[in-house]
Structure 1
Amino acid sequence: MDRQIKEILESKVQQCVRNDVELSEKMKRKKASLLSRDAEIIKAKATGKIIEQVEREDYSDIYYQAHFQYLIKQHKRFYIEEEVEKRKASFYKNSLISDDEVTDNLHSQSPDLELVTDESRDMETRTPYRYDRRKAVQYAERWWNDYNPAYKKFTDDCTNYISQCLHAGGAPMRGFPNRNSGWWYNNNNWSYSWSVAHALNLYLGTSKTGLRAKEVEDPRELQLGDVICYDFEGDGRFNHNTIVTGKDAYGYPLVNAHTYNSRMRYWAYEDSSAYTPNIQYKFYTIIDDY
């Protein structure tokens, strides 16, 4: 089955670098987004790793992890975008009948919650800090497709990963042990804002001390190490977060993320399987406290 998966990926790579009528809707949106930015895929590479194989008479399902690398050219600039997908290839008598992305848990489902803060207490324990954007980005690059064993790995890991990046940049924790309060991780316990996408969005929009952020209107105002929150359905519940790790030729953010691990991905997520025309964004730039 390794050979079949390799052949599937080779076919997808060829589709990526030419205008192929068989392109998936996701890849069509990706190419349209690139075209609107005067960018194009110059070269693509893909590798696969089989996760599970399920056999039943003449049928077999192969669950595998596909790691795509795209060399993007935009004017005279080049950069590499990377993305990891979980996919399912189905065969009948060793002939491929379907190959689809597995979209379960594509983005986090936020529980109903209301963050509670005690600012008077927080001010008493205030710890001045200066956010080290370089260290935050270094951490984001080191762990974009891996998991730091010092932290719990979540099925929906996007916000946990962003929180780790922020903490690596020096953002101080506060609120322990109240899970509804502040932003913190302690041994095998953590605040909702540490691990839940909507909760981190609420926290960044309201925090007055410790880790704080300012909302801006234009994504080009963001700096490296800043955060973008995504509400894919446009229903007011934010369900994904990314961290800015680069900029394209026009100054728009390129981002890293977990859950469906990606690196240097264009911020708008128009090529995501979770994307809808109703998508809403919030752009947060991290504020120093000193």
Structure 2
Amino acid sequence: MRTQLLELMEKRMQQCVADARGSVLDEKMERKTRLFDKRKAEIVNVKARGNILTIEKQEETEEVDYLVHFQYFIKQKDHFYVEEEIENRKGIFYKGILIEDKEIIAPIQADEAKLLTNEQEEREGIWRYTYDRLKAVQYAEKWWNSYNPAYHKFEVDCTNYISQCVHAGGAPMRGYPNRGSGWWMQNNSWSYSWSVANAFPRFLESSKQGLRAKVVSDASELKLGDVICYDFEGDGKYNHTTIVTGKDSNGEPLVNAHTYNSRMRYWGYEDSTAYTPNIKYRFFSIVDGQ
């Protein structure tokens, strides 16, 4: 069982390395190599390590849930960096033979309740802060593949993680205890805007005090500590959130994220299993509070 999974992992890694490409084994890896070609970047080496989580045995089959931690060593012009990604996968064995292997896709979050307007929140007063982008990025790097025990952990954790990063940069919470108001996590409770991917950008678009952001038209305008929201299906509902933690040689953002834990990943997500041609992005640059 372990041997077959290791062999499959090795084949997937080899598909990514430019001078070792063969037939298409994995569509996600094929998209990744095309993406790097488009960016004039090269994956010069790939490392991976796996960890089996559970084994569910039936009469003639076994279902194995496991994690794979990939490290992609990337050269772009004269710049080298490492992109990392965690995949949650399931292997299905029949009579000891691996017959199926797939990435486990996280569930889509339910829609949030209606958020209160800024006029309803004016009684809370003015919240001032200076956004410390370095601290936000440092937090994002520290916790990209683990979970701060000071906060609640969600199955779909992307927006919760980004909220923590932005809060570490100095953005103040406000609105407690109304879940439809402000942006906060306190006393084992939280606002929809803190934890739900579709609520967070709605809050950023309307907030006039405390945590605020301006929408920019192009990803290259984002700075470290800024935020990208993703509508994978292009249906007007946001599914994912990332934070900018670096730039590549072309000045394009590299991002960290949870749920599909990753760091220094190219912002476009064309290599994601969740990607569709209808994807839409929303780029938010965090501004100082006033």
Q: Place the TM-score, normalised by the shorter chain, in its bin.
A: over 0.9
1: CA distance between counterparts of 2:121 and 2:95? 66
The answer for the alignment partner of 2:104 in structure 1 is: 102
- For the Cα contact (< 8 Å) 1:119–1:208, is it kept in 2? no
Specify the alignment match of 1:87 in structure 2: 89
Distance 2:4 2:27 in 1: 23
Tell whether the 8 Å contact from 1:110 to 1:197 is kept in structure 2 after alignment: no
Unaligned runs of 5+ in 1: none
- Please say if 1:64 is aligned against 2:51: no
Partner of 1:127: 127
User: Relative to structure 1, is the Cα distance of residues 232 and 121 closer, same or farther in structure 2, using a 3 angstrom cutoff?
Assistant: closer
* Equivalent position SS for 1:197: coil
Does the aligned pair in 2 maintain the 1:131–1:169 contact within 8 Å? yes
Q: Which moved more, 1:277-286 or 1:54-63?
A: 54-63
In 2 relative to 1, CA 84–124 (structure 1 residues): closer, same or farther, beyond 3 Å?
Answer: closer
Q: How does 1:1-290 map to 2 (within 5 A)?
A: 1-17=1-17, 18-105=20-107, 108-119=108-119, 121-122=121-122, 125-290=125-290
TM-score of the two chains, using structure 1 as the length reference? 0.95
Root-mean-square deviation (CA), in Å? Answer: 1.5
Give the ranges of 4+ consecutive aligned residues of structure 1 lying more than 6 Å apart after TM superposition.
Answer: none
Quick one: which amino acid aligns to residue 28 of structure 1?
A: E
* Cα distance in 2, alignment partners of residues 227 and 271 from structure 1: 19
Question: What is the letter of the counterpart of residue 172 of structure 2?
Answer: P
Q: 1:62 to 1:126 in 2, by over 3 A?
A: same
Measure the CA separation in 2 of the matches of 1:4 and 1:118. Answer: 56
Structure-1 separation of matches of 2:92 and 2:213: 46
| TM-score between both structures, scaled by the size of structure 2 | 0.95
Q: Is the 8 A contact 1:117 1:182 kept in 2?
A: no
Q: Is there any run of 5+ residues in structure 2 with no aligned partner, and where?
A: none
- The whole-number CA distance in structure 2 between the counterparts of 1:159 and 1:110 is 13
CA contact (8 A) 1:242 1:256 kept: yes
Q: Distance in 1 between matches of 2:112 and 2:157?
A: 18
Alpha-carbon distance in structure 1 between the residues aligned to 2:187 and 2:272 = 33
Query: C-alpha offsets along residues 69-112 of structure 1, whole Å, 9 cap, x if unaligned?
Result: 1001111111100111111112223222121111142xx42415
Aligned letter for 1:58? E
Q: Report the number of matched residues.
A: 288
Alpha-carbon deviations, 1:7-45, whole Å to 9, x = none?
322222222212221332211111111101101110001
